[in-house]
Amino acid sequence: MQYHFLSCRAVGRVDDGVNIANQEHLAVIALCEAPGESWDTLWEKLSRYY
CB atoms within 10 A of CB 37: 10
Q: Check: CB of residue 2 under 8 Å from CB of residue 32.
A: yes
For residue 49, the model assigns a pLDDT of 56
SS3 24: coil
Say how far apart CA 26 and CA 16 lie, in whole Å: 9
> pLDDT tens digit string along 9-18?
999 999 988 9
For residue 24, the model assigns a pLDDT of 86
> pLDDT tens digit string along 19-32?
888 888 899 999 99
Q: Check: CB of residue 6 under 8 Å from CB of residue 36.
A: yes
Q: Check: CB of residue 29 under 8 Å from CB of residue 39.
A: no
